[in-house]
Structure 1
Amino acid sequence: MESSPSTPTRTCLVCGGQTTSAHYGIDACRACTVFYRKARKKKMYVCRSSAKRCGVNQDGAFACKRCRFDRFERILRRSAIEQKELEALQKSHRISSHPSSSTATARPLLDKCANAYRMLCLMRRNSELVARPNPPHPSKINSGEYEIIASTYGIMNGSSHSLLTGILDMSEILFPEFSTFSKDEQWALAVNYFNRIFLFDACYRADKIYPDDMNKALGAYTAYMSVDSVEHFFDDCPNQSTNLDDAKKVLEKFMFAVPLTRIAVRRANLDDEEFLAVLVLTFWFADCLQMSDEIVRVGERYRQEVLRELQIHYKEDLKLDDFAARIGELFMLVFNFDRTSEIDEQFEIYRLLGVFADDTFVYRLTNRPE
C-alpha cells in the first residue's frame, strides 16, 4: 500500500507559481497574498493597458498590479460562493435544482455553471485515474499529484464515455428544463455539446498545463495528445483489421492543426467569467438540430441570461463601458469550435480503416442513441 504523500505542491490561482500553502481559503502563494494585503490599504491601482485584461505573471516587475488585484478579488468571490454551495450540498445530501441563497447574486447562472463545471471536472478526473492499471493514491488524486500521460485509443474511448455521462448530469443541474425534454432530445443536445466543447476545453486546459508547448492538447482530462504521441496511440486498439499506417496519418494531420487552435484560445485570453459564459453559450448553439419550439425558446432565454450576466461582469468588475466587440469575439470563438462535421468525417474514415467498429462508443456519437 502506498504511504501517505508529503505536503503537496499546488499552483497559485493568481500568478500560476508553485505554493505549498493556502491563504484566505484559496491556493495563493505568499507573494500574491502579501501583495493583496498591502494593496487593499492603498489607493486603487490603474490598469496599465486600460482594458483590465493584462496577464498576471509570478514576477511582479512584469505584472499589472490592478489586474493582479482584481484577479485575487474574483477568485476570493468565487471561492466564497463555492463554499456556500458545498455547505448546502452537505446539508441536504443531494443537489437541488432550486435556487438557493448561495446563488442569490447578480450572476446566478455563471455561479451555478462554475460549480457544475467543477463537478464535471472532478468526475472526469476520478473516473479516468481509477481506471488506470495502477491508480494513484486517493490523496494524490485529491491534491493533483498525478501524471498526465499520453492518450491512447482505449483512454479516448473511455474518457469520452465519462464526459458524455458528465454532460448529461451537468445539464440537469445547470438547466432544470433539461430533465423535461425527451431522451432523444437530451441525447442530441449532449452529443452536439460534446462535439463543440471537447476541443475547446482540451485546448483551454492545455494552455494552463502546457503554456510553453503549443503542440499538445488534452485528449482526455488526464491524458494529452500531440504529434509525438501518434505513433503509440493505437497500441491498445482491439480491432485486428485496423489499417494502422493510414490511421496514424489521419490522426497526425489532425494533430498538426492543434497549434493554430491553441493560438485561437490564447488570443481570446478569456477570464473566468468569460470561460463560463462560453460553456453556456456553446450548449445552446444547437441551431443545426431539429429541435422543438420549446427547446428553442429555452435556449434563447439562457443565451439572453448569460449575456446579461456577462454585461454585469464587464460593467461592475472590469469597469468597461464599451464591450460589444468583446462579446462579438466570444461568439466567434464559439463558432470556431463547431467541428461537428469534421469529427463525423474523421470518425467515418476511422471506421472504414477498421479503427472503429460499429459499436465503438465514440463512433456511435455520430449516430442515434440505442
Structure 2
Amino acid sequence: EGNSSCRQCRLDRWNDVIKKCYQGLEMALAPSCSSSSNSPTLSSPGIPSLICEPSLIDRVRLYYQRLSAVRRNHELALRGVIMDPYTASRDEYEIVPCTYQVMNQSVRIMVSSLFDFAAALLPEFIELPLSDKWLLIRNFQSSFHCIESHMRTQRYFTMESGRCFSTYTTYLSTDNSAVYFSDCTNKTHIGEAARMLEQCIRENCHRIRDHLNRVRPSDDEFMALMVIAFWSIDSINAHESLLDLASRYRTKTLSRLMTGYKETIGAVEGAVRIGELYGILDIIKRAEANMKWEFEVYRVLDLFEDDTYMYAMQSHKPDTICRSLIY
C-alpha cells in the first residue's frame, strides 16, 4: 500500500483525484435549498439530474491533465529542478534542448503513465490480458507523443523558432541536433547522426506542424484524436473482440464530434472536418514509420543499444520492454 511502483496504487490515486474534481463540480451545481423545503431535489423521481455524466472527450481532457502533471514532475526531477506544484503547473520553468538519455528516460515515464491513463479512462482496459494492454500501449505511445507534443508546440513555440517538443519539458530543433547525442556512450558517429536528425526533424516534425497549422484542430478535436489513435489497431495483429471494442470507441468519439459539428458548422462541413483529422493521423503514422527507420540507423551507428528503451518500444520487442515495467 502506498508503493509508487504498484499499478493499483497509482490507479487509486488517479481515481481519487477525479472523484474530488467531480465532487467539487456537484457541490458547485447543487441547489441551495434547506432540507425542509418542498422543492424537488436532484434525486426526486421524474426530475432529470442537473449533473450530466462527463463525455468521453471531457474525461480524456481531465485525465490528460493528470498525465501531463506526472510527466512534467518526473522530468523536472530528472533534471534536478525543484519547483513548487503551483509554479510548475503554470509552466514557469525553462524548456531545454533534449538529449538521448533524457528522452530515453522520459519515454519510460510516458509509457508507464499511459498504462494508468488508459486504465482510468477506459473501464475495459483494466480487464484486458497483459498482452492486449501492451499491444495497445505500444501501438499508441508514438502516436500520442506526436499528437501531444505538436499540440503543445503549436501553443508554445513560433513557426520561426523551428522548435518542437521532444519530451514534456525539452525540445528539438535543427539548430541543436548535435546536442541530442551529447550524452551517448559512443560518440564516434555523432556528426553523421546529427545530420540525419536534422533531416528527420524537417521531414517529420515540420511536416506535422505545417499540416496542423492548416487544419488548426480545437482542444476537443485534439482530445478526440487521442481516442481515435489509441483505438487505431486495424493494421496490427489484434483479435476480433479487441477490434470490435476499438470500433465501438471510434464510433462513439466520431458521433460526439459530429453532434458538435451539426450544431456549429453543419453535417457536411463536419464530415469534411473529420476527414481533415484523419489526414493528421495519416501524416503521424508516416512519421512513425520514418522514426523506426531512423532509430535502426542510430543502432547501426552504435549510438543506440538493443536495450535502449525507446528503441525497444519502436522496434516492438515485448520481451525487452516487459521486463522494465511490472503490471
The counterpart of 2:21, out of the listed 66, 86, 100, is: 86
In structure 1, the residue matched to 2:166 is 219
- The aligned counterpart of 1:193 is 140
| Residue 341 of structure 1, CA deviation | 2.4
TM-score of the superposed pair, with normalisation by structure 2:
0.78
CA distance in 2, matches of 1:333, 1:152: 27
Contact 1:230 / 1:248 at 8 angstroms: preserved in 2? yes
Identity %: 28
Aligned positions of 1:1-370 closer than 5 A? 86-88=21-23, 104-105=52-53, 108-213=55-160, 215-237=162-184, 239-240=185-186, 242-257=188-203, 258-316=205-263, 318=264, 320-322=266-268, 323-338=270-285, 339-365=287-313, 366=315, 367-368=317-318, 369-370=321-322
1:112 and 1:137 mapped to 2: Cα distance?
A: 26
Q: Evaluate the alpha carbon distance shift between residue 324 and residue 250 of structure 1 in structure 2; reply closer, same or farther with a 3 A threshold.
A: same
Three-state SS of the structure 2 residue aligned to 1:213 is helix
Residue 48 of structure 1 aligns with which residue? none
Match of 1:4 in 2: none
Cα RMSD (Å): 2.4
Residues 197 and 337 in structure 1, CA contact (< 8 A), matched pair in contact too: no
Is the 2:147–2:226 contact (alpha carbons within 8 Å) kept by the matching residues of 1?
no
Distance 1:272 1:254, change over 3 A: same
Structure 1, gaps ≥5 residues long: 1-81, 92-100
Q: 1 CA distance for matches of 2:290 and 2:159?
A: 27
Aligned partner of 2:41 in structure 1 is none
Matched AA of 1:267? R
Alpha-carbon separation, structure 2, partners of 1:203 and 1:314: 24
- Which residue does the alignment assign to 1:68? none
Could you give the per-residue CA deviations for residues 293-325 of structure 1, whole angstroms, max 9, x where no partner exists?
111010000011001111121123x25242111
**After alignment, is 156-165 or 211-220 more displaced?**
211-220
- The one of the two structures with greater contact order (alpha-carbon pairs below 8 A, sep at least 6) is 2
Confirm or deny: 8 A CA contact 2:76 2:82 kept in the other structure. yes
Compared with structure 1, are the counterparts of its residues 90 and 168 closer, same or farther at alpha carbon in structure 2 (3 Å cutoff)? farther
Cα deviation, residue 286, structure 1: 1.4
Opposite residue 163 of structure 1, the aligned amino acid is M
| Alpha-carbon offset, residue 88 of structure 1 | 3.5
TM-score, normalised relative to structure 1: 0.70
CA distance in 2, matches of 1:124, 1:320: 38
The equivalent residue for 1:37 is none
Q: Is the 8 A contact 2:140 2:230 kept in 1?
A: yes
Q: Which structure dedicates a bigger proportion of its chain to helix?
A: 2
Residues 165-215 of structure 1: CA deviation (Å, up to 9, x unaligned) = 111111111111112222122112111111222123222211100134351
- Deviation by residue 1:211-239 (Cα, 9 ceiling, x = unmatched): 343511100111111001212111112x2
Matched-pair contact (CA < 8 Å) for 1:214–1:259:
no
Does the CA-based 8 Å contact 1:273-1:313 persist in structure 2? no
> In structure 1, what is the Cα distance between the partners aligned to 2:236 and 2:190?
34
Q: Can you list the C-alpha shifts for 1:251-274, whole angstroms capped at 9, x where unaligned? A: 111122232221111111111211
Shift of 1:83: 8.8
- Whether contact under 8 Å (1:103, 1:112) holds in the other structure is no
> In the superposition, relative to structure 1, how do residues 295 and 205 fare at CA in structure 2: closer, same or farther (>3 Å)?
same
Question: What SS class does the counterpart of residue 337 from structure 1 fall into?
Answer: helix
Distance in 2 (alpha carbons) for counterparts of 1:340 and 1:273: 23
Amino acid at match of 1:104: C
